[in-house]
Structure 1
Amino acid sequence: MLKSLAITLALLVAPSSTTPAPSDGDIVVEGRKLEAQKFVQALTDADRTRQLARWDRAICPRIVGVDEGQAALIKQNIARVAESLGLRAYAKGCRTSMLIMFDNDAQAMAAALAKSRTVFLGGQGRDRLTDFVETKNPVRWISLSDPCGFEGCAVKRSRLKKSERPAIYMMLVLVDGQEIGAFGLNEISDYLSMVALGNPVLGEAWPNTSILSMFSREREDQPFLLTDNDRAYLTGLYTSRTDATGPLQRRSIIEKMTNSDDAAGEQSD
């Protein structure tokens, strides 16, 4: 009896011979997925139910505080990235929707903008305005979104869909000119492209696999440019469903980033 019981227990705890062991490929994919999850979590709002707002159709950037040639280069770079995401970037003759300001005392400028109510958030988040004023980041930003920006609000028919479809309609980016002297204009342009188009939450602990970590990392031989993760994140953001819940949007971005890693690996083999 005891012998038969021991045999039975051994069969229960022993691994099934029909269950394949995980391959190295499975481990790599899981590692990439975990990295993508951490990346998305760092760039998006801590409120996991909140939808991710993005630009709809077009942007109209304006750059102030630098000379015309520098402003043109920054606008061209943002336009190039925007067009890769299916957006149109107006060069002129449009109402500014994306204002990027360079100032040698960004801290004082941010406080003045908030005090004068130039930055108006309405009911969309006083805490975000506080973060905008108090952050020590060389680049700070704040955006406004319309909850029904994508062709109005849809009728809610499923718990997996949201009636709101938020779209950004205004963004202010403030760059501290005293803090960016060590970086080239192409690096700053790529950084601003990620900020202005990705609309990440204003934080400080950016992943090292994003250009957003540029100001907190040591200088390397290669220039800081948009990373593969940055580009995959932006692609995932702009291809996610506008009526999806926040968690579903994030899942879509993570899948895009993971699949993008797989494709890049296949091309390099």
Structure 2
Amino acid sequence: MLAFVVAALLGSSGPQSPPPAVPQTEPIQPSSADATSVRLEDVEVTGQRDDPVRAFVNTVAAPNRHRGIARWDKAICIGVANLRPEGAQYIVDRVSTVAGDLGLTPGEPGCAPNVIIIASTSADALAAELVEERGRAFRMGGAGMDRGRAALDAFVNSDRPVRWWQVSMPIDSQTGAAAIRLPSECGGSCTGGADFGPKVRLPTSTRLSSPIVDSLIRTVIIVDLEQARGVTVQQLADYLAMVTLAQIDPEADTRGFQSVLNVFESPAAVDGLTEWDQTYLRGLYGANRTRNIGSGLPELSDSIRRVQAREDAAAPQ
């Protein structure tokens, strides 16, 4: 299986062995959320700093250090390994559908995955092996492309049902060109600082705005099959969609919100992406992201409020 994963990370294709069978659970009927959770309809759209929209954004958003919020730019290709074909295809289709609804272009069958989801009964060993054998796929060496060594160690040592690692790239929003140099582009002699600085001209940059935005380029997700037995494949697919399409903090405490991110703690309380989650994703993919980096979270909050206001205006009275 490791050979398949490495091939996927490198953007190449290779022979795949038949995936082993994985027991599927019966669908769980949705029920009302815990009374202490905040529902979207409880949100009053205001400019106050302590409003629930801002609280949710500050809780779950996890941009890379000194970088803005990243999202997928155009195309996304989902690969799933080590699940029954029907379960794997459901996850691919569901995540691709959510991505398509956000304006992304889902990959056709046979595309080179830039999102690889691996199910395993030995998640810890798999994570450690992948990082050891393909460390450069997790930390490419460019400034601001990942969450750092400590976060990667947390990925390897995680005890959660699902763990994920994302790599992003600062790009010129006007041309789509990479805005940093990688070690491979300077013969391995990059030492940081100016060597990793932007390689594009920024004539329109100001203290308030910049054409440089951050684009996700790779996501690796490992599902611990033993810990994921309590949820259905439908719930799992929606959870995977959320952590694939946005930079979500794996340590976020979302118990105060009605979100699919709570599905492993309360499987009966949520059956998939909630209004909170869907509005968050629509706000993320509708944000301009051209303000300076320090404005990333407020800008995301503002975008979510605009999405909510448009949908409220369009809803039947």
Bin the TM-score by the shorter chain: 0.7 to 0.9
Aligned to 1:139: 162
Aligned to 2:87: 70
Aligned to 2:17: none
The structure 1 residue matched to 2:140, chosen from 100, 103, 122, is: 122
Unaligned runs of 5+ in 2: 1-42, 180-200
Instruction: Supply the distance in 2 between the matched residues of 1:85 and 1:41 (Cα, whole angstroms).
Output: 21
What amino acid is the match of 1:230?
D
**1:131-166: per-residue Cα shift (whole Å, max 9, x none)?**
211222110100111112641246152112235322
Query: Compared with structure 1, are the counterparts of its residues 216 and 61 closer, same or farther at alpha carbon in structure 2 (3 Å cutoff)?
Result: same
The structure 2 residue matched to 1:34, chosen from 38, 41, 51, is: 51
Higher mean alpha-carbon deviation, 186-195 vs 47-56, is at 47-56
The structure 2 residue matched to 1:100, chosen from 96, 117, 122, is: 117
Superposed, which structure 2 residues align to 1:102-251 within 5 Å? 102-118=119-135, 119-123=137-141, 124=146, 125-148=148-171, 150=173, 151-152=176-177, 153=179, 155=202, 156-207=204-255, 208-217=257-266, 219-220=268-269, 223-251=270-298
SS class of match (2:51)? helix
1:48 deviation in Å? 8.1
1:241 deviation in Å? 2.0
1:255 aligns with 2:271: no
Structural RMSD (CA) = 2.6
1:50 aligns with 2:67: yes
Instruction: Supply the distance in 2 between the matched residues of 1:83 and 1:46 (Cα, whole angstroms).
Output: 23
Percent identical = 26
SS class of match (2:113)? coil
SS class of match (2:217)? strand
Instruction: Supply the distance in 2 between the matched residues of 1:93 and 1:143 (Cα, whole angstroms).
Output: 22
Unaligned runs of 5+ in 1: 1-26
Query: Compared with structure 1, are the counterparts of its residues 187 and 48 closer, same or farther at alpha carbon in structure 2 (3 Å cutoff)?
Result: same
Paired positions, count: 241
Query: Compared with structure 1, are the counterparts of its residues 252 and 243 closer, same or farther at alpha carbon in structure 2 (3 Å cutoff)?
Result: closer
Instruction: Supply the distance in 2 between the matched residues of 1:170 and 1:218 (Cα, whole angstroms).
Output: 28
What amino acid is the match of 1:173?
I
Query: Compared with structure 1, are the counterparts of its residues 262 and 157 closer, same or farther at alpha carbon in structure 2 (3 Å cutoff)?
Result: closer
Structure number having the greater helix percentage: 1
What amino acid is the match of 2:292?
T
Instruction: Supply the distance in 2 between the matched residues of 1:61 and 1:73 (Cα, whole angstroms).
Output: 11
**1:212-266: per-residue Cα shift (whole Å, max 9, x none)?**
121223633xx52101111111111112124333443322321233344455666
Name the larger-Rg structure. 1
SS class of match (1:219)? helix
User: Do 1:32 and 1:261's aligned partners in 2 also have CA atoms closer than 8 Å?
Assistant: no
Q: TM-score, normalised on structure 2?
A: 0.68
What amino acid is the match of 1:80?
T
Query: Compared with structure 1, are the counterparts of its residues 74 and 242 closer, same or farther at alpha carbon in structure 2 (3 Å cutoff)?
Result: same
1:185 deviation in Å? 0.9
